[in-house]
Amino acid sequence: MVAQAILTLNAGSSSIKFAVFGCDGDQLEFTTGGKIEGIGTAPHLVARDASGIVLAEHRWEAGTGLQHEDFLGRLFEFAEQHLDGAELLGVGHRVVHGGAHFFAPARVTPSLLGALEALIPLAPLHQPHNLAAIKAVASVRPGLSQTACFDTAFHHQMPAVASRFAIPPALSSEGVRRYGFHGISYEYIARRIAALDPALAKGKVIVAHLGNGASLCALQAGQSIDTTMSFTTLDGLVMGTRSGGIDPGALLYLLQHKHMSADQISQLLYEQSGLLGVSGVSSDMRTLLESCDPRAADAVDLFVYRLAREAGALLSSLGGLDGLVFTAGIGENSAEVRRRTCERLAWLGITLDEDANARHADVISTPSSRISVRVIPTDEERMIARHTQETLTRPA
Ligand code: AMP
């Protein structure tokens, strides 16, 4: 039994993940965690203990209209009931956008909250839910320390040339620039690479975070030097419902000639595009891979094509490549997407070990492959807990 604990909350567009970690010195031990998925449609909660035993499972009927706010209080209560007598030291949150000013985990204060609210237009799918989670905790435990961990932070040191759009400097200095996201996941993966393969960690690695949201990060000696998402989480790869990179001229066409409103275009690009938009079948890669519908196959082809194409761009930013790492839902679980991506990148000297790939082994390239290809499960929750613990021990 541990005496102290940290709770993490990761509120996404239609899900909330939570985890409780016991703190023993600077060691973090996962004790309980889970996820509510399908918020807005048919919510489903599953919570497990460290050995994977289900502690709670509940399905709400479709159309109950329950939103994030309705679940946050309950999740917090559930987590508190499973602290096993430990004192809750603080809560760590994933916050998608830290803008130009927040690039290290920060204790939540009213003024920080205000500044983060101003960034909602830059991440409309996530930021409101991230901040709602902070407010929900503050309303039930006003004195409890809360820490915001930013998805943009890991990319803060990207070279200036990688952070700029080719627009007049007045706009760039107002903050219209490339930020990059999925930084909590990339930071965790960079640390895992250092632990698993110290020589590779000193080299040039592309990490493919392929989940509902998807991006690539170019790591040079463990630091992000370029990434595919930019000003918002729309840029770069094809995603579950997001378009990925699209010619800005196409948006002008939609505005000026198709007379779509800004809200309609926003909905189109964030919610009706990507795998869902192309296939008309689903935003879910597993469903598409199992489908016989030719439009599902087209969507998967486009996903892999754009992934390999963007990897090519990052290869050029890095000036070479030593390793490729797959992570997140698709990256960790889809041998098919990994196989097809590596096939497209075979010209680089990647040779896939088909058997290791099918088994989701840690290393899926052959020993003679010029580039080492790995599967590393991400753990954003642990990274958030680590930062929260560090923030708590730092003088305010
Ligand atoms: P995430 O956002 O990281 O939870 O990832 C969600 C994505 O991972 C969805 O598109 C899922 O279909 C996909 N995924 C999960 N398991 C598999 C699998 N076994 N095969 C293909 N895709 C999967």
**Do residues 75 and 213 share a domain?**
no
Nearest residue CA, atom 19 of ligand 1?
A: 333
Residue 39: predicted pLDDT:
85
- For residue 113, the enclosing domain spans 4-150
Looking at 120, 135, 150, the residue that finishes a domain is 150
For 95, 147, 380, the CA distances from 385, given in Å and listed in that order, are: 13, 9, 9
**Do residues 273 and 370 share a domain?**
yes
Confidence of residue 332 (pLDDT cuts 50, 70, 90): very high
Q: 288-326, pLDDT tens digit by residue?
A: 999 999 999 999 999 999 999 999 999 999 999 999 999
**Do residues 360 and 213 share a domain?**
yes
**Do residues 110 and 206 share a domain?**
no
Between CA 336 and CA 330 the distance in angstroms is 9
* Mutation to probe ligand 1, out of 285, 300, 337, 375 (largest number of atoms < 8 A from CB): 285
Q: In terms of C-beta density within 10 A (0-12 exposed, 13-18 middle, 19 or more buried), how is residue 169 classed?
A: exposed
* Mutation to probe ligand 1, out of 13, 181, 334, 378 (largest number of atoms < 8 A from CB): 334
CA of 337 to the centre of ligand 1 (A): 11
3-state DSSP assignment of residue 385: helix
Establish if 119 belongs to a structural domain: yes
Task: Please state which of the ranges 103-117, 118-132, 316-330 shows the lowest mean pLDDT.
Answer: 118-132
**Do residues 69 and 139 share a domain?**
yes
Task: Please state which of the ranges 69-73, 110-114, 151-155, 380-384 shows the lowest mean pLDDT.
Answer: 69-73
Looking at 126, 150, 174, the residue that finishes a domain is 150
**Do residues 278 and 209 share a domain?**
yes
Mean pLDDT over residues 209-220, rounded? 96
What letter would DSSP give residue 121?
A: G
Atom of ligand 1 at shortest range from CA of 378:
3
Mean pLDDT over residues 197-223, rounded? 97
**Do residues 79 and 145 share a domain?**
yes
CA of 300 to the centre of ligand 1 (A): 13
Atom of ligand 1 at shortest range from CA of 209:
3
Task: Please state which of the ranges 76-80, 242-246, 303-307 shows the lowest mean pLDDT.
Answer: 76-80
Task: Copy the structure tokens of residue 182.
Answer: 């999925």
Tally of domains within the chain = 2
Mean pLDDT over residues 243-270, rounded? 97
CA of 189 to the centre of ligand 1 (A): 18
CA of 329 to the centre of ligand 1 (A): 4
Whether the full predicted model's pTM is greater than 0.75, yes or no, is yes
Establish if 67 belongs to a structural domain: yes
Catalytic residues: 151
Atom of ligand 1 at shortest range from CA of 212:
2
Establish if 330 belongs to a structural domain: yes
Establish if 62 belongs to a structural domain: yes
**Do residues 214 and 86 share a domain?**
no
Residue 66: predicted pLDDT:
84
**Do residues 127 and 225 share a domain?**
no
Between CA 214 and CA 233 the distance in angstroms is 9
Is residue 137 a contact partner of residue 72, using CB atoms and an 8 Å limit?
yes
**Do residues 356 and 209 share a domain?**
yes
Atom of ligand 1 at shortest range from CA of 337:
21
Residue 396: predicted pLDDT:
63
**Do residues 21 and 146 share a domain?**
yes
Establish if 158 belongs to a structural domain: no
Establish if 259 belongs to a structural domain: yes
* Lining residues, ligand 1, CB within 6 Å: 211-212, 240, 284-286, 289, 328-330, 333-334
3-state secondary structure 346-372: HHHCCCECHHHHHCCCCECECCCCCCE
* Mutation to probe ligand 1, out of 181, 238, 282, 286 (largest number of atoms < 8 A from CB): 286
CA of 356 to the centre of ligand 1 (A): 19
**Do residues 78 and 227 share a domain?**
no
CATH classification at residue 10? 3.30.420.40
3-state DSSP assignment of residue 77: helix
312 conformational bin, left if phi > 0, alpha if psi -120 to 50, beta if neither: alpha
Between CA 342 and CA 285 the distance in angstroms is 17
For residue 70, pLDDT over 90 is answered with no
Q: 128-159, pLDDT tens digit by residue?
A: 999 999 998 998 899 999 999 999 999 999 99
Establish if 395 belongs to a structural domain: no
Is residue 186 a contact partner of residue 219, using CB atoms and an 8 Å limit?
yes
Establish if 114 belongs to a structural domain: yes
Residue 68: predicted pLDDT:
84
Nearest residue CA, atom 8 of ligand 1?
A: 329
CA of 143 to the centre of ligand 1 (A): 38
